[in-house]
Amino acid sequence: MAELNQEVKEPSFREKHSVSIRLWHWSTFIIIMSSLTTVLLAKTLFNSRSNTPLVQQNLQHNNVTVTNDQARSVAHAFSDKIWQWHIYLGYVLAGLFLFRIIFEFFQPKQQKVIPIIKNALRYLRQPNADKKNGMHYLLVRFTYVSFYCALAVQTCTGLFMVYSDDIEKLQDIRHTVSDIHSVFMWLIITYIVVHISGAVIAEFYKHGKGMISDMINGGE
């Protein structure tokens, strides 16, 4: 009750970050960028459809004639290797996400997702609140929550595809799940572009100066 009557300080991006969140943040950054690289390679250089004629032409030069299906299966073997890397990285990403959920329970209260949002809402209800900064802070926090939801969908759909691969009954639904997985990739890419631009732009302003190094050294 006493907490409700206390004046809430203006929320700031110059926050402390626990070792767990920093470790999680930078590991997730590396793994997601690597995962996106595997998708890019699989869809371009290792695309089995565009490599099939290449295999046929190369063998033709050596006077070996193979059918379209035979050439496609060779091209496929290379793209399968890239997808296998994507799956390994996917397991690491799923592990990191699980770690993110578990350590949320052990975070100091002022660094937990829900109390941070509640605090920002309470600040906004105060008559002397800086509404513009308060709303901006809240919006940024909601983008984090949206990202976590997108990551949950991406992890579940990814794992579903791995385990449904050999199950005949699940092949129809696997197509839908794969479409969802592809659409969510674009949501995650949008988040990354907005997030990194936002963090870099904020560094140039007084309210965010030093926030990127805070995410590295933990902040004061």
**Interface with ligand HEM by CB under 6 A: which residues?**
13, 15, 21, 25, 28-29, 32-33, 35-36, 39, 83, 86-87, 90-91, 93-94, 113, 140, 144, 147, 154-155, 158-159, 161-162, 178, 181-182, 185, 188, 192, 195-196, 199-200, 211-212, 215
Give me the least distance between CB of 54 and ligand HEM, in Å please.
20
> Given the complex with ligand HEM, which of 50 and 58 has the nearer CB atom?
50
Residue with nearest beta carbon to ligand HEM: 158
d(CA 185, CA 135): 27
Give me the least distance between CB of 114 and ligand HEM, in Å please.
11
Give me the least distance between CB of 213 and ligand HEM, in Å please.
8
> Given the complex with ligand HEM, which of 131 and 207 has the nearer CB atom?
207
> Given the complex with ligand HEM, which of 15 and 59 has the nearer CB atom?
15
> Given the complex with ligand HEM, which of 25 and 122 has the nearer CB atom?
25
